[in-house]
Chains A and B, each alone.
Chain A
């Protein structure tokens, strides 16, 4: 009987095709003039309709679903088809992968919530131990009583036992879904957890499906003795047109949607080649919109004058890429700065604060460490011995050693060499007191030096210098030491 009604529903649905709107009116209007998404209500929508149908679900709910999942109709349709009707079996494990912010968890959770299917959504970031994961799963699927049945520090065996026990009391009428977000973290937990979850349906003998979501491809997950292979599903990235369409959805009510979508277009023009993350772009769009509207509010330009608006916003957006995109400046600071109409560069970012105040000898120790790390040991005589005798420039600079040390990174050096260079660069006589040695080890704890090979603490430890060229230049300037003259790469 139920089937009959749904079929009629489907029929009605199809006959009413032309007047179904998918998005709010603003958004469609916004997409219209762009040209890339014209023809939207024609053949495309028909395909989408055929993609998203679910037996036993009223038409109104399906429509609201479609509205909530812009540009993901195909994926949602495939997922629904794989999931099947609630009482039918679903494939034991589904692995969904795709880039960040391509709507993986959004689509699956919206589907499960809207269709009111029993499910448990667990983020593996939160689960530091497998026990937490089991507890949350049971809690969501069967309620608080079942989670209390788990012993302290439960193993997978306990989980399966409790699951079977509770499941015998409440047998499944519908497929139960366990959604695990950021599933790549499962690899770092116990070795039996991932293969166990993949064949959970077989182990608990219930109609349950495990859905794993991850950014990383399945090939990096496979254990070395193999496992039950999940069904792989890819969520493709949004195209530029789709990004435009989605970002245009949250337009500002006080301006026309056309203006907002032209703003998004400019934003994408600047950022698209660097960033395709929807969340990041959305954040940037929200941050910079007030600046875009500035000329309109002042009355300098009209809405139609896109060129002027573009001239106003473009350098601003480029500056945003160097500051707020890299989190050099926080979004609050960035917003405030726009209010005060200060120059954007006036604000010093996080990386400008990297200057560290150090004691005098520590500075020289760090300089010596830098020289020891980036100069080959055989050039020490040339740099630091006063009367080093004849040393031909041609033999000193061998041609085949053209690759710069600043490209290869710091080399490790022994403590003796560090001290030798230190004594030669520091002018006054310094006694090798305990304080000099303790300064070296405190430089290690400050992570300005790193110790290489932890096998030998006392006898000839080796170090690497872990600071950048800019940092060491600033340090040597404070003690008026010209470090560039002593660097092999710059001779």
Chain B
């Protein structure tokens, strides 16, 4: 009887862990919207008011949301749209067009996409339009005619706004902003970008039609707030099925925040970057270590996750090189030291390597030149060295000028970590004449 009971409890744990994984993964990986944007209240109010004026009063607006990657630009906009669409009158009235600079790489594709998202394919049909602007005006006219009394407002949401500025003549931007300035159809043009100098990319005529409203999302989070974010990101919601488990979990997370080692790791992360996305990545890596046998998050998990996310990838690659390739890198390092960063070719590297072999060749026997060339080409393939002129000039491969893409310290650290490194190679790396 008691045995069965214990098994029941155990099963509940497995169930809970699955639930925790599901909820938190959706939060970290799928960027699920929070209930309210945290720390961005004033920006949120500004944006919401602006969009509301377009939706309700038919006022045309244009605004740019600027902020670094992972600062929550899309989240802010989506939250605002979500709240706005809760109003019944707005929901029926407003049309949305979502464009992304990554997808709509030129204006024709963008126009087709706009037509599609406004459900106007059947209206445009096979008609051929003279110019792009005509087509756009037709689209908006059609929109106007579609409704009984007055035209319906349209939200144009342009993600990766800076990429739209690279289109030819910036026709799309010009027309959208022109409509927002002159024509009657109420539109709101919302651009999202990570470039601070985005206005410099715009042409003069486009710039003059833009309202110069910018919403900056520059994170001014302190470490305390970062800790709070950490806590709230990991916390389970109130509607979690097993309330006892969720209470324990939340308590455990709060305790984690107090712990010294966790705070140190978070401080390190905070110092390198304070956006949410890197925090999510860290938390996801920690979360993957939560399983049935280990149902709570421990400080070790966070430590391990941080170690995984901050590993130096070049050092990892250097670790897997063969001894011959490592010797070549050391030779290149010496050439860099002697000639102060001048580019080198294979012949020089080989010469340097031969000098080393002649002085002391206890551990490494004399390799043939073609074998050394093969090793050199492997380094080229791994992009640890790079041709100076991008491989345009056709010279023999021995004489192609190269540059080493590694730091002095990176080479030395890799040497320290290298498994079973021959001692004389190590000494050679330390001193060119040793």
Contact = CB atoms under 8 A, between A and B. Distances in A.
Given A218-B313, A231-B284, A273-B324, A407 B348 contact: yes
B398 interface: yes
B288 A82 contact: yes
Interface string A148-165: 000000011100110000
Contacts of A236: 316, 319-320
Contacts of B69: 226-228
Nearest to A56: B18
A225 B322 contact: no
Contacts of A97: 313, 316-317
Interface in B66-120: 69, 74, 100-105, 109, 113, 116
Nearest to A190: B105
Nearest to A79: B288
B399 A220 contact: no
Contacts of A192: 101-103, 105, 163
B396 A468 contact: yes
A468 B398 CA distance: 10
A328 B395 CA distance: 22
A88 B25 contact: yes
A59 interface: no
A26 B50 CA distance: 74
Contacts of A468: 396, 398
Interface in B331-389: 345, 347-348, 351, 364, 367-368, 370-371, 374-375, 381-383
B292 A7 contact: yes
A133 B195 CA distance: 30
Interface residues of A, number: 77
B18 A234 contact: no
Interface string B248-284: 0000000000000000000000000000011001001
Contacts of A81: 288-289, 291
Contact of A273 (B281, B293, B322, B398): B322
B295 interface: no
B313 A409 contact: no
Max chain A C-beta neighbours (<10 A), residue from B10, B101, B292:
B292
Interface string B5-28: 000001100110010011001101
B323 interface: yes
Contact of A237 (B11, B320, B382): B320
Contacts of B399: 408-410
B204 interface: no
Contact of B15 (A3, A199, A272, A450): A3
A266 interface: no
A85 B24 CA distance: 13
Contacts of A275: 322
A88 B382 contact: no
B345 A409 contact: yes
A322 B371 contact: yes
A91 B109 CA distance: 29
Interface string A73-85: 0000010011011
Given A88-B22, A409-B398, A322 B316 contact: no
Given A10-B292, A82-B288, A155-B109, A229 B277 contact: yes
Contacts of A82: 284-285, 288
B409 to A, nearest CB: 16
Max chain A C-beta neighbours (<10 A), residue from B311, B368, B370:
B370
A66 interface: no
A85 B309 CA distance: 22
Contacts of B28: 91
Nearest to B68: A226
Interface in B125-154: none
A78 B288 CA distance: 8
Contacts of A237: 319-320
B382 A7 contact: no
A219 B313 contact: yes
Contacts of B375: 274
A99 B322 CA distance: 11
Contacts of A90: 25, 29
B371 A407 contact: no
Contact of A466 (B291, B374, B396): B396
Interface string A241-278: 00000000000000000000000000000001111100
Contacts of A447: 394
A217 interface: yes
B316 to A, nearest CB: 5
Contacts of B374: 325-326
B322 A276 contact: yes
23 contacts: A7-B11, A7-B292, A89-B26, A89-B29, A90-B29, A92-B29, A98-B320, A155-B103, A155-B109, A156-B103, A201-B29, A202-B74, A215-B381, A220-B383, A229-B277, A231-B285, A234-B311, A273-B322, A273-B364, A408-B348, A409-B399, A452-B393, A467-B396
Interface of B: 10-11, 14-15, 18, 21-22, 25-26, 28-31, 69, 74, 100-105, 109, 113, 116, 162-163, 194-195, 277-278, 281, 284-285, 288-289, 291-293, 309, 311, 313-314, 316-317, 319-324, 345, 347-348, 351, 364, 367-368, 370-371, 374-375, 381-383, 393-396, 398-399, 419-420
Given A10-B292, A227-B69, 16 more contacts: A3-B11, A53-B291, A55-B18, A84-B288, A89-B29, A97-B316, A155-B109, A157-B104, A157-B105, A161-B113, A217-B313, A225-B162, A229-B278, A231-B284, A275-B322, A322-B370
